[in-house]
Structure 1
Amino acid sequence: MSTYPEHYTPEDIRQVEQIKAWMAERNYKQAALARLARVSSSSLSQILGGTYATAPGKLLVNVANAMKHADDTASDTVAAVETSVFRVANTAFQMARRYRNFAVVSAFVGTGKTFAAKHYQRTTPNTYLIEATPTMTVQSLIKLLARTVAGFDGKGSIDDKFRAIVDSLVNTDSLLIVDEADTLTPHVLHTLRRLRDLANVGIVLCGTEHLTGLIRPAHGQFDQIRSRAGFWPETIRGITADDAAALVQAAFGDEDISDEVIARLFAYCKGSARMLIEGLVAAITQFRNGRELNVQLVDAVAKQALCLQSVA
């Protein structure tokens, strides 16, 4: 084992050695891990080399979380990178579940809220995710929830099905996530409010920026839900540059991606994780043909495959 300074605790040393072993086993580049962990490459290099000037414990936690996340999502079609949007959404899910109240997540289209909701539902027991539609009625909502939550797909009145839903959920640690909630009518939202009150479970409403506009006005049509919202951050307008860096790094594995390439991809995506991953990264992967991933390639793919205006 290498020699470490005195301000490295035994736990710090154990984690450093674990990181080195993890990277060696997976042939994972240090720069790639640093980017996923939101730690500068120089800081991670100093930490692993035993030359970091202060206690490294806090940064080691970030690195350990990134390693776990990389392992947990290795088989995902798209890696569930912990972007700022992903973290806000997960905070909403956790708080609504813990405090059995409403949480509201509003974000611009393509920022990743739906991806976060699907990942949370897939990886967390007793989580139910439904997607609202503009034509959803109280009856169609209750029928959907009866099948999804209570396994009730037979005959019976709407009231019978609603009571079956309540009986299945009441006082459990269940969580209901409703995506596209900005399309719901006041009657459907009132039904969700009654469900929350009777079953004593958490409900998260996810939607576009219009969701906040509907709920926020005092004494508006959604005021009864507004008063029950325990977590309700500002509308998310887009991913950050750090988010983009982590997403790009995850998409290309342990390949060493230059800061210039990441900056150019971020400029093209204009804050949309969907455009970044499903548009730019997918097109580059399709048309790269073994070429070096550089700014010139990004510009060419953006123009020729996606008809995007130059940001150079």
Structure 2
Amino acid sequence: MRQLKNVVSYPEHYTAKDSQLIDEVNAWLGADKKHTQAALARLARVSPSSLNQIIKGTYATSPSPLLVSISNAMRHAEESESDVLAPVETSVFRLAMTCFQMARRYRNFAVLSAYVGTGKTFAAKHYQRTTPNTYLIEATPFMTTQSLVKLLARLVTGVDSKGSIDDKFRAVIDVLANTDSLLIVDEAETLTPHVLHTLRRLRDMTNVGICLCGTEYLTTLIKPEHGQFDQIRSRAGFWPETVRKISADDAAALVQTAFGDEEVADEVVARLYAYCRGSARMLVEGLIASVQQFRNDRELNVTLVDAVAKQALCLKSIA
């Protein structure tokens, strides 16, 4: 047993790094009394009892994995307070990060399909914004091979290169070949067969990863064996099941982030989750935004949520 700062005696399975992080947690919670353990636990996706045990030094197993989540939650909360759009590490966000990392690491295709509003596009934009050598293309139903290659040439080379489409394509290949670059294509279910085959050829000639992101229709487009996209299907090194909705824990983290230091009651979170039906977009851009707009210093409770859902969003009561 060892004593840290003469305050808490930590068991041997607490590492020095654990001790340092616990000091940071205590300092963060004590700063101006702005933050509560309950709010931090919700942001970190950790049970309040586990967080309390970790801080007191009574957690039975190694607290290291949970302390990483707690530290990330504190950092994200501070970014939010600085007016920076901070990501909430929902299950969808983490799955998207894995897709991007797998495609980049193994220089192959990864496929991320999810229902509308679950947060895949937000994750893609965050990864592109924070990770060097990542290129994001938002596809449209009108994208042709020519328009794809022109867009890639601008993104990758930084200039509107002259020459034919083949010249531009080869210029892209020259820049990307055998680098650690990653290409993310969002709304990929809208792409035509010719564009998808161009992406497949790009991957083969550059040896870089490509992640296709889209709705549930993306899977039905590529999945059939021996179909017209079998060459892409056979190159998909990571392809999880289609994400249908965010989880209740995801919703709790999003709600707590939105309301900052204010402790949100469990029944309020549950009611907001019920109304959003698993859509992060509906939760954040619809319900939470409306509650914040029309709250007018009223108590944040289920009655307020029901009233806003009915009057501002025309949602059917679930009370």
TM bin, normalised by shorter chain, reads over 0.9
In the superposition, the TM-score normalised over structure 1's length comes to 0.96
Query: Do 1:128 and 1:177's aligned partners in 2 also have CA atoms closer than 8 Å?
Result: yes
Residue type of the partner of 1:308? L
Residue type of the partner of 2:243? I
CA distance in 2, matches of 1:133, 1:61: 38
Residue type of the partner of 1:16? I
Equivalent residue, structure 1, for 2:201 = 194
What do you get for the CA RMSD once the two structures are aligned?
1.5
Q: Choose the corresponding residue for 1:256, options 251, 259, 263.
A: 263
Equivalent residue, structure 2, for 1:57 = 64
Query: Do 1:78 and 1:251's aligned partners in 2 also have CA atoms closer than 8 Å?
Result: no
The runs of at least 4 aligned residues of structure 1 exceeding 6 Å deviation read none
CA distance in 1, matches of 2:222, 2:249: 30
Q: Percent identity?
A: 73
Change (3 A) 1:254 1:306: same
Q: Choose the corresponding residue for 2:121, options 114, 127, 138.
A: 114
Secondary structure of the equivalent of 1:305? helix
Number of residue pairs the alignment of both structures matches: 312
Q: Choose the corresponding residue for 2:19, options 13, 34, 53.
A: 13
Secondary structure of the equivalent of 1:205? strand
Structure 1: gaps spanning 5 or more residues: none
Q: Choose the corresponding residue for 2:273, options 266, 273, 290.
A: 266
Equivalent residue, structure 2, for 1:303 = 310
In the superposition, the TM-score normalised over structure 2's length comes to 0.94
CA distance in 1, matches of 2:27, 2:196: 51
Q: Choose the corresponding residue for 2:282, options 241, 253, 275.
A: 275
Residue type of the partner of 2:23? E
Equivalent residue, structure 2, for 1:169 = 176
Deviations 1:162-189 (A, max 9, x none): 0011111111111100000000011000
Query: Do 1:105 and 1:235's aligned partners in 2 also have CA atoms closer than 8 Å?
Result: yes
Report whether the alignment pairs 1:47 with 2:54.
Answer: yes
Change (3 A) 1:165 1:41: same
Q: Choose the corresponding residue for 1:228, options 229, 232, 235.
A: 235
Which deviates more, 59-68 or 123-132? 59-68
Query: Do 2:110 and 2:211's aligned partners in 1 also have CA atoms closer than 8 Å?
Result: yes
* Equivalent residues in 2 for 1:63-82, closer than 5 Å: 63-72=70-79, 74-75=81-82, 78-82=85-89
